[in-house]
Amino acid sequence: MSPPSSFLSPHLPIIVAVSGGADSLCLLGTLHEQGYPLIVAHFDHQLRADSADDAGFVKQVAGEYQLPFVLGTADVNVYAKENKQTLEEAARNCRYAFFFEQARIHKAQAVAVGHTADDQVETVLMHFLRGAGLNGLKGILPRTILPHFDSEIPLVRPILDLRRADTEAWCAAHHLVPREDPTNAETDYFRNKLRHNLIPELENYNPRFRETMLRTSQALQGDHALIAELIDQTWQKVVKDESAIHISFFLPSFLELSPALVRNLIRHGMEKLLSGQADISFATLERAAEFVAHANAPQRMDLASGFVLLKEDEFVYLTLDEKRLPVGDFPQMGEGISSAQVRVPRNDEEVKIEFGDGWILTVSNIGIEHDIHSADPFQVTFDADALVGEIFLRGRHPGDRFSPLGMGNQSVKLKDFYINMKIPRRAREKYPLLCDELGVIWVPGYRMAQRVRVTDATRHTIRFALKRW
């Protein structure tokens, strides 16, 4: 076995992930034979009572090779429950987080893992059965960047061309007795069912089934590389902005794309935002593409792994934290005052009131106002005599109702009004409402209340305007 020279430098350290099984021991031994500077890393998932014995065995092997040894540990069961992940996802995310942390500490050029051709066959078949698209059917790559763990240090698989039987033979030839994880023989896990039950059965139909699957994955890797180039080019055209918790897409540009390209862009966005790795099924991506394509679809959709898709005007948001999405041009009450009342004085002089995030309410023009119409939705003129008691700004309250101009005295739930006006959910809680003692008289930017409108009988007017400085 000779690792591809394009993957690894003989002068920079490599973090070698060693579980104690035949594959990882073969990986460690062959890299050591070829003179690479190595750091042996083992992660204890605490899933078995004797898991610490595996760590002791790997440390002993590292000592025999005179190599440095690092150990990581976590209660993966607890982590899986806290993060709502499967046990397999949690185990992978915990150990990879540790391996890449060590890679950064030791300034390593790569993290090397002992995946073999058998792992490739199992992975492709597993993705096929779960309904994956091309991204899943291409299988695992000899070299890949996992941006969730590190944007620069690659994960490499130097023995991906070897069979599991080859690594077992290597260990036997070097008088090494691998540690066998008893859970690998259990069929409770999906991958183990494939390994022990389905693949042997499929080989009854095609004795060269494994070779066929490997050729298929290699062919699809080339196709996937071509699509990846197209995704990168299109990404620049359709993405408005992105942060650690969201990506926004320009909807009109999205609608010009094929469903296949939309699916791949959504996948790419999910992979960018994930703090760990998760399986993203084709069915999930298909639902996302349909959500984007249909104008009459709901404005919000829950996807897998905690993701949410939102449609707002000309944009589609992909996020893991809806509450922290930017509110854009929607006015908001400042922190600490959204649940309080900000009193608005009524006197003959112009008054300016700051209520948060650079927003200012201006009160002016008490008297007869002849020019009551304005194209600015954040400016409004009321019949001053129709106002009851004190005037104040506040955020919404449970049960708030509103009688919008044009609906007579009929009232609607404020929540329904927000929905009809397509005010994003995240902007509603702190959205400023101008009120008197009878209730809401103005939802800035949208509608005043019917009862405070200026009529022919109006004798005194008062003007309010919202601006952001």
Q: What is the CATH number of the domain that holds 55?
A: 3.40.50.620
Give the span between the Cα atoms of 376 and 380, in whole angstroms: 8
The answer to whether position 419 is within a domain reads yes
Name residues whose C-beta falls within 8 Å of residue 85's C-beta, 6 or more positions apart in sequence: 79, 93, 276, 278
Residue with tokens 């994956």: 132
> CATH no. for residue 463?
3.50.40.10
Name residues whose C-beta falls within 8 Å of residue 184's C-beta, 6 or more positions apart in sequence: 21, 192
- Does one domain contain both 294 and 370? no
> Cα–Cα distances in Å, from 372 out to 383, 435, 455?
10, 20, 10
Give the span between the Cα atoms of 185 and 321, in whole angstroms: 39
- Does one domain contain both 375 and 302? no
The answer to whether position 81 is within a domain reads yes
pLDDT at 137 over 60: yes
Mean pLDDT of the chain: 89
CB neighbourhood size of 154 (10 A): 18
Which residues on neighbouring strands pair with residue 43, listed in sequence order? 72
Give percent helix, percent strand, percent coil of the chain, each to the nearest 5: 40, 20, 40
What is the model's pLDDT at position 369? 57
Q: Of 113-127, 328-342, 383-397, where does mean pLDDT reach its minimum?
A: 328-342
pLDDT at 298 over 80: no
pLDDT digits (tens, 9 = 90+) for 42-100: 999 999 888 999 999 999 999 999 999 999 999 999 999 998 888 888 999 999 999 99
Ramachandran area for residue 182 (φ above 0: left; ψ -120 to 50: alpha; else beta): alpha
pLDDT digits (tens, 9 = 90+) for 368-398: 655 667 788 999 999 999 999 999 999 999 9
pLDDT at 1 over 50: no
pLDDT at 134 over 50: yes
Q: Of 39-53, 161-175, 227-241, 317-331, where does mean pLDDT reach its minimum?
A: 317-331
What is the model's pLDDT at position 338? 54
pLDDT at 2 over 50: no
With beta carbons less than 8 A apart as the criterion, state whether 210 and 219 touch: no
How many residues are recorded in the chain?
Answer: 469
pLDDT digits (tens, 9 = 90+) for 431-468: 999 999 999 999 999 999 999 999 888 888 999 999 98
- Does one domain contain both 105 and 49? yes
Among 1-15, 235-249, 324-338, name the most confident range: 235-249
What is the model's pLDDT at position 295? 66
The answer to whether position 139 is within a domain reads no
With beta carbons less than 8 A apart as the criterion, state whether 153 and 100 touch: yes
Give the span between the Cα atoms of 316 and 247, in whole angstroms: 8
What is the model's pLDDT at position 4? 45
- Does one domain contain both 191 and 313? no
- Does one domain contain both 349 and 311? no
What is the model's pLDDT at position 5? 43
- Does one domain contain both 57 and 173? yes
Give the span between the Cα atoms of 468 and 445, in whole angstroms: 13
What is the model's pLDDT at position 362? 92
pLDDT class for 3, splitting at 50, 70, 90? very low
pLDDT at 6 over 60: no
The answer to whether position 336 is within a domain reads no
DSSP 3-state assignment of 82? Answer: helix
- Does one domain contain both 189 and 41? yes
What is the model's pLDDT at position 297? 64
Tokens of 205: 């139909």
- Does one domain contain both 187 and 46? yes
What is the model's pLDDT at position 345? 84
Mean pLDDT over residues 118-125, rounded? 94
Give the span between the Cα atoms of 152 and 107, in whole angstroms: 11
> CATH no. for residue 246?
3.30.465.60
What is the model's pLDDT at position 273? 87
**Structural domain total, the chain:** 3
pLDDT at 357 over 90: no
Its domain, for residue 373, covers 342-468
The answer to whether position 334 is within a domain reads no
Name residues whose C-beta falls within 8 Å of residue 49's C-beta, 6 or more positions apart in sequence: none
What is the model's pLDDT at position 328? 74
> Cα–Cα distances in Å, from 261 out to 144, 159, 288, 385?
22, 33, 12, 59
What letter represents residue 111's amino acid? V
- Does one domain contain both 399 and 311? no
Angle in degrees, CA 340, 341, 342, rounded to 5: 120
DSSP 3-state assignment of 166? Answer: helix
Tokens of 403: 């009688």
The larger pLDDT score, comparing residue 28 to residue 243, is at 28
Give the span between the Cα atoms of 27 and 158, in whole angstroms: 7
The answer to whether position 218 is within a domain reads no
Mean pLDDT over residues 156-173, rounded? 96
What is the model's pLDDT at position 272? 85
- Does one domain contain both 30 and 72? yes
The answer to whether position 197 is within a domain reads yes
- Does one domain contain both 185 and 69? yes
- Does one domain contain both 320 and 374? no
The answer to whether position 138 is within a domain reads no
Give the span between the Cα atoms of 319 and 308, in whole angstroms: 5
Q: List the end-to-end C-alpha distance of the chain, in Å, as a whole number.
A: 66
DSSP symbol at 451? G
